[in-house]
Amino acid sequence: MRMKKLAAGVALGLGASVLSFSALAAETIKVGVLHSLSGTMAISETTLKDTMLMLIDEQNKKGGLLGKQLEAVVVDPASNWPLFAEKARELIEKDKVSAVFGCWTSVSRKSVLPVFEELDSLLFYPVQYEGEESSKNVFYTGAAPNQQAIPAVDYLKNELGVERWVLAGTDYVYPRTTNKILEAYLKSMGVAEEDILINYTPFGHSDWQSIVSDIKKFGSEGKKTAVVSTINGDANVPFYKELGAQGVTADDIPVVAFSVGEEELAGIDTAPLVGHLAAWNYFMSVDSEQNDEFIESWHKFIKNEDRVTNDPMEAHYIGFNMWVEAVKKAGTTDPDAVQDALIGIAVPNLTGGYATMMPNHHISKPVLIGEIQDDGQFAVVSSTPGTVVGDAWSNYLEGSKDIISDWRAPLSCGNYNVKTGKCSGQNF
């Protein structure tokens, strides 16, 4: 009898402990962090994981959200595109996260997209991309082509007199689609086909000698030439080293990159790269009170004064703060309610202005062209006078220029053809 009572008491105690643990778990709002911490993309994505941890920590110090503390759930999809989908499903179904912040490459975003749509969860995507997509479940806080690629080409053409174009990219959806848009745009301005050279290399490509030789030859035929680079990940390191080794300077053939920022330059001898360019919507060197505070918070959190900030970090800063404000507005983390609340939300960016979430789930951003300095920072040489609204669909591609995205009722469509009056495609 005594043993039975003891067992009953232990069971009751265990039950109370489980109940207490469950109650405690229910008192946190879980936030998914889906970034590669290993593999070819770790060079870029690890910092974004750290950024999310900082933002969540800061929000918790402010009292959390809806009376609860936020809890980061970090996973490593390891630069493995199918694994991104598995990890996304795990975050949503097993960990019960309220939203996910993550992905870098478009192929990783494409991999997880069906999961977020099937399970009706939210993804905040912080990196420039090729457009041609608008999902109810994705909020695109990085640049669309009209907020980065098109203005970069305009700068090269109008300010540097470029007439020949090398479109060099990693072989996956973002570079191929972006270059398809840029090729159409260049031809619409009268650039001849023979003045456009397009080249693709695999992820992690390391032998750039022959490709850089081809670029030099292409640029030696009497017309000012530039490289528009959509090379991603750690392949950038040997690419820039080979440019320096073969004496390709910014005066001869300037390179403008869309995936090289302060973090990538931190591991490179930048001396041979001075004068080459990058197009982003934020640089660490931007002079604003908001940016100074962000950099100070970052250095304090990461405990390293030498760590840099970059554009995708700002995109997470904007996206996270938009999500926080939308949850407050909706009074819940329910995805449908937060989706509706997000449209129209405006929060400070780091350049001294505001970013607004538009009905097409893209945000307004300034466009900056930066020139690489010998300290690995960028000097801003061009900027738009105000912010530019991101386009989900390109004005330069057949099949896209007649499509708009508007997730407000009554349209509630990401792929609406204004000529046929129909909402179609997989992202609607």
Secondary structure of 192-227 as H, E, C letters = CHHHEEEEEECCCCCCCHHHHHHHHHHCCCCCCEEE
Instruction: Give kind and range of the element (H or E) at residue 389.
Output: strand 388-389
Q: 363 — phi, psi (to 5°)?
A: -115, 165
- Shared domain check, 150 and 50: no
- Shared domain check, 372 and 259: yes
Could you give the CA distance from residue 322 to residue 347 in angstroms, rounded to a whole number?
A: 6
**CB atoms inside a 10 Å sphere around CB 316:** 26
| Sequence-ordered strand ranges (E) for 35-110 | 69-75, 99-102
- Shared domain check, 204 and 80: no
Token pair for 196: 């456009």
- Shared domain check, 58 and 127: yes
Answer yes or no: is 18 within a domain.
no
Answer yes or no: is 213 within a domain.
yes
Residues in the chain: 428
Handedness of CA 304, 305, 306, 309 (dihedral sign): positive
- Shared domain check, 257 and 133: no
Answer yes or no: is 223 within a domain.
yes
| Contact criterion met (CB below 8 Å) for 56 and 70 | yes
The predicted structure's pLDDT at residue 23? 42
Could you give the CA distance from residue 227 to residue 222 in angstroms, rounded to a whole number?
A: 16
Q: At which of 331, 365, 399 does a domain end?
A: 365
The predicted structure's pLDDT at residue 235? 87
- Specify the number of domains making up the chain: 2
Place of tokens 């499509």: 403
- Shared domain check, 299 and 261: no
Measured at the CA of 297, the angle between CA 311 and CA 345, to 5 degrees, comes to: 55
Say which residues have a Cβ less than 8 Å from residue 370's Cβ, sequence separation at least 6. 277, 278, 279, 280, 283, 285, 378, 379, 380, 381
The predicted structure's pLDDT at residue 273? 84
Answer yes or no: is 59 within a domain.
yes
Provide the residue-wise pLDDT of the chain in tens; the chain has 428 residues. 444 444 444 444 544 444 333 444 468 999 999 999 999 899 889 999 999 999 999 999 999 999 999 999 999 999 999 999 999 999 999 999 999 999 999 999 999 999 999 999 999 999 999 999 999 999 999 999 999 999 999 999 999 999 999 999 999 999 999 999 999 999 999 999 999 999 999 999 999 999 999 999 999 999 999 999 999 888 888 898 899 899 999 999 999 999 888 987 887 788 878 999 999 999 999 999 999 999 999 999 999 999 999 999 999 999 999 999 999 999 999 999 999 999 999 999 999 999 999 999 999 999 999 999 999 999 999 999 999 999 999 999 988 999 999 999 999 999 999 999 999 854 43
Answer yes or no: is 421 within a domain.
no
The predicted structure's pLDDT at residue 265? 84
Could you give the CA distance from residue 312 to residue 235 in angstroms, rounded to a whole number?
A: 18
What are the residues facing 167 on neighbouring strands? 198, 228
Answer yes or no: is 326 within a domain.
yes
Answer yes or no: is 307 within a domain.
yes
| Contact criterion met (CB below 8 Å) for 226 and 253 | yes
Range of the domain at 135: 26-143+292-365
The predicted structure's pLDDT at residue 24? 46
Token pair for 252: 């001869």
- Shared domain check, 322 and 275: no
Strand order in the sheet with 422-423: 403-406, 413-417, 422-423
Q: Count Cα neighbours of 290 within 13 Å in the Cβ-side half-sphere.
A: 14
Burial tier of 137 (Cβ tally within 10 Å: 0-12, 13-18, 19+): buried
The predicted structure's pLDDT at residue 6? 43
Answer yes or no: is 417 within a domain.
no
CATH number of the domain at 88, please: 3.40.50.2300
Burial tier of 287 (Cβ tally within 10 Å: 0-12, 13-18, 19+): exposed
164-170 and 138-140 strand pairing:
unpaired
| Contact criterion met (CB below 8 Å) for 75 and 90 | yes
- Shared domain check, 234 and 89: no
- Shared domain check, 384 and 240: yes
- Shared domain check, 267 and 194: yes
The predicted structure's pLDDT at residue 26? 63
The predicted structure's pLDDT at residue 8? 47
Q: At which of 309, 333, 365 does a domain end?
A: 365
- Shared domain check, 75 and 43: yes
Could you give the CA distance from residue 148 to residue 150 in angstroms, rounded to a whole number?
A: 6
- Shared domain check, 35 and 50: yes
Token pair for 376: 């690995």
